[in-house]
Structures are given as structure tokens and as C-alpha cells.
Amino acid sequence: MKIALCQINPIIGDIEGNKKKILNGYKKAQIDKVDIAIFPELSICGYPPQDLIEKREFREAVNLAALELSHQTNNVALLFGSITEKEERVGTGIYNSALLAYEGKIQFIQNKTLLPNYDVFDEVRYFESAEKVFIHEFKGEKLGISICEDIWNDDDYWKRRRYSRDPIKSLIDQGTTLLLNISASPYAYGRRKERHDMLSYLTKTERIALAYVCCTGAQTDLIFDGSSMCFDSSGTMVKVGKNYATDYLVFDTTNENPEVDHYEAAFEEEVLNALIFGLKEYATKSGFKKVLVGLSGGIDSALVTYIAAQSFGAENVHTVLMPSQFSSEGSIKDSEQLCENLGIHYDIIPIQPVFEKTLQVLQPAFGNLPENVAEENLQSRIRGLYLMGLSNKHGYLLCTTGNKSEMAVGYATLYGDMCGALAVIADVYKTDVYRISKFINREEEIIPSAIIEKAPSAELKPNQKDEDSLPPYETLDRILKMYLEEYKEIDEISEEINDYELVKSVLRLVDINEFKRKQAAPSLRVTTKAFGYGRRFPIVQGWRK
């Protein structure tokens, strides 16, 4: 069978726009005289539509678009993701469905069986699970059609499964001769290799070919990398889609196809490309054409500025240097050098006059209390005031520059450096910020070496260093990864770190700063456990006081 995999970039809620993208891919498939053109999960409405699903008018528009698409089909089949509804006495009555249309009408519907309800997934909230799966005979093949998660539960591959049902096993038991999976699988580093290994094992074990199509694009914090894959019946990957881009692949199961063995690059390259793509997608889909970054002279804001320049073009990036009496001369010079290296425009707007006036105005209310974090945070909030003012005046997309390590322990100021529409590197640990920055400089010095080599500092008081308040980032990040991503607790982490009191203090910082993260800008997700929608912990709690 000749299959066209149409790796498109839907926009959530843009039903007419998504329909056009599907039609354009289908017309190309008609010209290529394929047997079937397949599109990603929920490709008409975009994934994840979240509470839009609960709007009756939204569902009606999606269903109408699906019907209109089916009317434009001929003997080339069209497989795409949509929603369907049934009048149910209990439950939502709404299904995440794969629709197969040809000869002017919808000929077959397969509803999704396994509804993920973990991390960023919340499908049980909206959809009903398919009661059964069926094969569909088409042009001499018995098609086994599944949707995303349905293929992630192979009893032979996974040591521990999330679900008792295995829809793929059921399709194979029914005699399917070809597997088709339509997907919307969010990116995290390592996920592409996991997909490859799992799908390769499945197709080799069951001796069956597979076409797996995934959407590309980014939807707020979720990045979809595309990278659609095709496997022959020996488990060999013979086709792979582009990363972070739309693509169109033709997979002919009757041909001898050469093996494709490159599907995931090194960590630094992968994450950097994902962040560049995610920022560009967020801005484009939100209507922004220019970006604003506050440059501190530190490595985090330098990395975000580089990412912005790659996403928008240097001519569309504006930076602001906002020195105070505590800013070192090197921080200003290093920031200027970075801007010169990247070819971007910058302004220098000191905060000292406003800071001094603010202290004067607040003095009667502050009284004779000694200086503390209040004075430090005022400086950060004045910078936030400047940045938001410039963003409003010029229509810039303001990017925050905090990393994951800082966000984890609350080393950030609400309404200060946390001001902004998107947290570009808030899912990147500090140690990884260094790795990526050095990767950027692998051929020439773009981020000044002085920025990479200097000791990290917020520069909010004399001779301040991050390690005055925090353990070394190498140690901090080891603790955070175990706590945030592996859900290890204090005793187990302490066995590896060999410092119980340090681990206890770090974990306490993570827990008591949940209130800050709840108010933070959405962060681009590049790990399997990012802050935001996929990590839900209470602000008020008594687990660790």
C-alpha cells in the first residue's frame, strides 16, 4: 500500500485553517496517486483543545468540517483526527476519533481506547474510551487504525503498563496486515528515541509494517517535533519526517526501503532547536513579530537573547540593560559585546534613580527595620516595570529569563524578573544552560566567554553570588532532578548526596515556592516533567513545613 504521511502544524481552534491544511495535503496525495493520506490526531481542531471541547458550538464546527472534508474525497482514502459524539446516558459522550473517508463520505471511525491522564495529558476529563477496536479492509489490506497512546502499551515491551487493555494486540489478533497510528506526541528530550525503540520492537515482534504520523508545531508550552516514522515488518525504520517542521512523506510498503538510522541529535542541539522553534511558534500563533529581553550580563539572559535572535531574526530583537549601583562594569560590557556579536539593538536605562526615589517614598512605612530581601526585590520589580512598559508601548513579546533551577527553589522575583509572556528556559537546568551556551560557541565566540565563566549573581547587593544562598548548581541540579523528575524523597536523595540537611533545605525551598510557579509565565517544555500544567502540587500543604 502507498501511504502519504502529512505532518502538518494545526492551530488549536483554527478549524477552517486546519481544514485547509488537511485539504492541501490530501490534494498532494491525490497527485501522487497514493492509496491513503494520513494526518495527525485531532488535526481538525488542534491538540490539546482542552475546555474548548466543552463548547457545543465548537464541537459542531469540528463535526461540520469533518463532514465537508469527507465530501471532497475520491478513491484516495483520507484518515484524519477529529472528535465524534454519541448520546450517552453517562459520561461525556465525546470521543477522540480517527475518521477514514473515501468516495465522498466517512466510511469508518475508530475511537481512541487509551486515554492518558498523567503529566500534561488530561483526556479522561473530556473523552470516553472506545469499547472495541476493529480492522477496516481497504484495497486488499486489513488496516489496524489507532490513535497515539493506543500504541504505547505493548505488553512485551513495557516492564510496567499503564493500562490493562492493549488495542494493538487486539487488532493484530483480528488479522490486521498494516498498522496506522495518528498521533500528537509532545516533545521532550529522549522521547524521539523512545518512540523509535518502542515502535521498532513492536513491528519486529509482530512482523507488521507501521506508518506513524505526528503533528508538528507548538501549542503554548507544548512543543510537537513531528518526526513521523515508518517501519517495515522487520522493525527497520525506513522513513522519518523532519524535526520541528511540516513535512510530507510517501511510504510504499511494497518497495524495498533503505534503513534510516538518524533520528535524534545530541542533547544540546536538540534542546536548543526545540526552544528556538517553541518561541517562534508561540510568537507567530499569538501575533507577535518582535521580542524584548532584559539583559543582566548573566548567562541565562544571554542564552534567551541568542534563542530570540534565532527565532525572530536579529533585527526583530530588542534588549534593555538596566544597571544599578550593584551592577558590575563587566556585566554591562559583556552584555554590549553579546548584542554586537548578534547584531541586535539595545538600550541602557539605569534603575538607580527610580530605586532611590522608591526607597525615599517607602521609608516612612519601612520605618527603622533593617534592609533585607525587600530592597533587593524592589530593584528587580523596577526592571519588571521598565520591561512591561516597553512591551506595552512597542508591542514586544517579553521573554522571561529564569532557568529551571531558579524556578524550582524560588530564586526569582514575582512581578520582577518573572514578568513576561513566555518563560523560554524555565525547563532548562542551570548546568544545562552552560552546556547549551558552550555548544553555541563551538565554532566561534557568540556568547562572550566572560559571561560563561563568571560566577552567577543576581547583583542586587554588594558582592552577591548565587552560591551565597544556594548550593553549587551541580549539586542543586542533581537534587532537583531526583525530586522533580524521579519523585524521590529526602532519605533516598540524601543517600546519594550525603548531606541530609542540605537536601532537606532544598526540598523545602521547592515546596514553599509553589505559589510563585503558579503565577509564572508558561514555560517551553523540553523535559518529561516541566513546571506548569503537567505538574500539579498544592500551594497550601503540610507535607513539608
Give this prediction's pTM.
Answer: 0.94
Q: Per-residue pLDDT for 425 more than 80?
A: yes
3-state DSSP call for residue 7? Answer: strand
Question: In a 10 Å sphere around its CB, with 0-12 CB exposed, 13-18 middle and 19+ buried, how is residue 420 labelled?
Answer: buried
Q: What percent of the chain has pLDDT over 70?
A: 98
Tens digits of residue pLDDT in 168-181: 999 999 999 999 99
What mean pLDDT is predicted for residues 70-88?
94
pLDDT of 545: 60
What is the arithmetic mean of pLDDT over 376-388?
Answer: 96
* Nearest-angstrom CA–CA distance, 504 and 492: 11
Exposure b/e, 509-523, CB count within 10 A at least 16 = b: bbbebbebbeebbbb
User: How sure is the predictor about 90, in pLDDT bands with cuts at 50, 70 and 90?
Assistant: confident
Q: Is 491 helix (H, G, I), strand (E, B) or coil?
A: helix
Beta-bridge partner residues of 212: 181, 229
Q: What is the pLDDT of residues 478-533, one digit of tens each?
A: 999 999 999 999 999 999 999 999 999 999 999 999 999 999 999 999 999 999 98
Residue 230 a catalytic site member:
no
Per the listing, cell 505493548 goes with: 154
pLDDT digits (tens, 9 = 90+) for 129-175: 999 999 999 999 999 999 999 999 988 888 888 899 999 999 999 99
Q: How far apart are CA 53 and CA 13, in angstroms?
A: 10
Type of residue at 244:
Y
Confidence of residue 465 (pLDDT cuts 50, 70, 90): confident
Q: Strand, coil or helix: what is 145?
A: strand
Task: Report pLDDT for 328.
Answer: 77
| pLDDT exceeds cutoff 90 at 43 | yes
| Cβ atoms of residues 308 and 425 within 8 Å | no
Closest by Cα among 267, 274, 200 to 239: 200
Q: Is the Cβ–Cβ distance between 505 and 475 less than 8 Å?
A: no
Residue 468 in this model has a pLDDT that exceeds 90: no
348: phi then psi, degrees, rounded to nearest 5: -115, 115
Yes or no: say if 37 and 75 are a contact pair by the CB < 8 Å rule: no
List 6, 148, 214, 399, catalytic entry: 148
Average pLDDT, the chain: 94
Active site residue 141: no
Nearest of 129, 125, 126 to residue 112 by alpha carbon:
129
Q: What pLDDT was estimated at residue 458?
A: 62
Is a pLDDT exceeding 80 seen at residue 75?
A: yes
* Secondary structure string (H, E, C) spanning 399-416: EECCCHHHHHHCCCCCCC
Known catalytic residue: 339? Answer: no
Average pLDDT over residues 294-312: 96
> How sure is the predictor about 459, in pLDDT bands with cuts at 50, 70 and 90?
low
- Residues paired with 213 in a beta bridge: 182
Q: Which residues of 118-141 are buried (b: 16+ CB within 10 A; e: fewer)?
A: ebbbbbeebbbbbeebebbebeeb
pLDDT of residue 14: 97
How far apart are alpha carbons 102 and 495 in whole angstroms?
61
Catalytically annotated residue among 19, 112, 430, 481: 112
- pLDDT at residue 434 in the model: 97
Q: Where are the beta strands (DSSP E) in 25-76?
A: 36-38
253 to each of 178, 228, 234, 240, how far by Cα in Å? Answer: 9, 16, 12, 14
CA distance 243 to 252: 21
Q: How far is residue 215's CA from residue 48's CA, in Å, rounded to a whole number?
A: 12
CA diameter of the chain: 86
- pLDDT at res. 327: 73
Mean predicted confidence (pLDDT) in 367-386: 94
Tens of pLDDT, residue by residue over 228-272, are 999 999 999 999 999 999 999 999 999 988 999 888 899 999 999
Joined grid coordinates for residue 121: 495529558
Report the candidate in 236, 185, 194 with the shortest Cα–Cα distance to residue 213. Answer: 185
- State the average pLDDT over residues 305-331: 92
Q: Which of the following is catalytic: 6, 19, 21, 41?
A: 41
SS3 string, 201-259, reads HHHHHHCCEEEEEECEEEECCEEEEECCEEECCCCCEEEECCECCCEEEEEECCCCCCC
